[in-house]
Chains A and B, each alone.
Chain A
Amino acid sequence: MKRSRQGLLLQCSLSLDALPCPLDLDLFRATANRHLMALNLSPVQSISASATLQQTPATTLAALSQAFAHEDWILRRRLRV
């Protein structure tokens, strides 16, 4: 997780290969969204990812993408020695 003044960021990964049976992904996300919304003590704003990005200043998002694409962050390499 990453803790900052703006909040606590968690990045979660569900391994589909580890599941014993197929998962209806749309149903899973919809069900999970309901349960996550039920957790909230704070106001929650249902917002799409694209709306999030639209409300974020374009220059900010572009700068962030560039920062993450910097050599220190993105590591696109041929693994051949």
Chain B
Amino acid sequence: MPYERGSTAQNMAADFALLGHFPSPDCWRWRWYGWTNYPAFTIGYRQDYSALKSLIQSIIRSQDDVDVCRRPTGGGLVDHRRDVTLALVIPPQDPLFRAPPLDAYRKIHQALATALCAQNIDCCLQPCAGTTCGLPTKTPANQCFVQAEPGDIILAANAKKILGSA
């Protein structure tokens, strides 16, 4: 699909439209996109921006303006300066819509991991830890990519997280 760029607000609006205003709502749909305003960050739906300001400042090491927008999805702070972003909608008629969330993450991530492996990036999905599979972590990270959650894509060599979803 054509790769497009937009500001954080434009991209989040387009993702929201992809979910709720798509002409064929019974179809899977997805879009790849980038960011026109750098540095660009998105925060999770429930995150407190005032609590994240110093974290963002420490990441960019600058006092310059940043383009920050709240996502319609949850999760942590995401740094979009050097990433590839995908928004995907599973229609309500699909069995995956009613499956446990981890099932959806794992299925989508496995497809993306296969595409990465095709370019010799040796990666796999973060396994669940014992009986905690599917349960929220006790200490969720404010920032994405700090720690891998079950279902995230990690490098096989060192278990470093390379792809996650909210």
Binding site for B on A (CB under 8 A): 1-21, 23-29, 31-33, 35-36, 38-50, 52-53, 55-57, 60-61, 64-65, 67-69, 72-80
Contacts and interface: CB of A to CB of B under 8 A. Distances in A.
A2 B145 CA distance: 20
Given A1-B73, A41-B94, A77-B68, A32 B111 contact: yes
13 contacts: A1-B165, A6-B22, A6-B25, A14-B85, A18-B155, A23-B116, A26-B3, A32-B86, A35-B114, A40-B28, A52-B29, A68-B8, A79-B64
B14 A49 contact: yes
Given A9-B88, A73-B70, A29 B28 contact: no
A27 to B, nearest CB: 7
Interface residues of B, number: 96
A64 B16 CA distance: 8
Interface string B120-132: 1100000000000
Given A2-B19, A28-B116, A52-B18, A14 B162 contact: yes
Interface string B92-113: 1111110001001101110110
Contacts, number: 267
Interface of B: 1-4, 8-10, 12-33, 42-43, 45, 49, 53, 56-57, 60, 62-74, 78-80, 82-97, 101, 104-105, 107-109, 111-112, 114-116, 118-121, 144-145, 153, 155, 157, 160-166
